[in-house]
Amino acid sequence: MSKKTTRKTDKNSKGRSPKSSEHNHCHPEGCSCGHCHHERRDHDCDCCSADVYSTPMNGDSPDIDKITELANHGVAMAQYDLGVCYNSGLVVEENPQTAAQWFFKAAQQADGDAQFALGRLYLEGRGVPQLDDAARKWFEVAAQHGHAASQNQMGYLYLHGIGVEKNPMIAMHWWLESAENGFPEAMFNLALWYAKGECLEPDEKAAMDWLRKAADAGFPPAIEFLEQMNSVTESEE
């Protein structure tokens, strides 16, 4: 692809957080330092002066040869994108095992999306053994570096005691972190949490605030929930 495009995400990945503090080797084909990872499609790297990395993920017709070439040169974003292709069967034959291998390579370079994707594979036992501890490890390392989807996933793990000791209050902590990073699903989770009064007194105002934020962010369940509430209110008037 000759132009820079928005990065296509894995079907199991739900957003890239802008936070990261890991610095890695910068390859000539593109910057792979964690500090500027999220900006590589739109800006030059202020950290390492590398050119913007532009993976040829062009809709449903990615340039798989170019992606593979860059991935083999160690470019973390290309490694993640190649994992997406194999995990989704996009252009190449679907192969979760190969996807896991490429996600792992990118995850070792502090790629938050790859760490999240690898965590999902371990959680589901797809292409790798089903290992809750391994899933928690990858979600946690990404979450600690500000990856919003992983922070939301950590809330899920703590709520249900998957790979960790069940602790609803820690679940709420992670949802707050994720919501403050702009992740709509975490906002919706907090809305339900405050409405139900899980481990605390119900807080209708906080519940509505987070519900509206989730709806404003375009989260379908939140939008539907608000529409149902408005419908009931109108019918009662």
pLDDT tens digits, the chain, 237 residues: what are they?
A: 333 333 444 544 444 433 333 322 223 233 333 333 333 444 344 443 344 556 567 667 889 999 999 999 999 999 999 999 999 999 999 999 999 999 999 999 999 999 999 999 999 999 999 999 999 999 999 999 999 999 999 999 999 999 999 999 999 999 999 999 999 999 999 999 999 887 778 899 999 999 999 999 999 999 998 988 877 665 555
Same fold, 1-114+123-129 and 147-237: yes
Question: What ranges do the domains of the chain cover?
Answer: 1-114+123-129, 147-237
Question: For domain 1-114+123-129, which architecture applies?
Answer: Alpha Horseshoe (1.25)
**Cα separation, 196 vs 10, whole angstroms:** 32
pLDDT reported for residue 235: 58
**Cα separation, 77 vs 89, whole angstroms:** 18
**Nearest-CA neighbor of 6 among 52, 55, 61, 51?**
55
**For the domain with range 147-237, which CATH number is right: 3.30.1360.70, 1.25.40.10, 1.10.150.300, 3.40.50.720?**
1.25.40.10
Q: Is 27 helix (H, G, I), strand (E, B) or coil?
A: strand
Q: pTM value?
A: 0.76
Nearest 5°: phi and psi at 200? -160, 170
What type of residue is 15? G
Do 57 and 7 meet the contact criterion of CB atoms below 8 Å apart?
Answer: yes
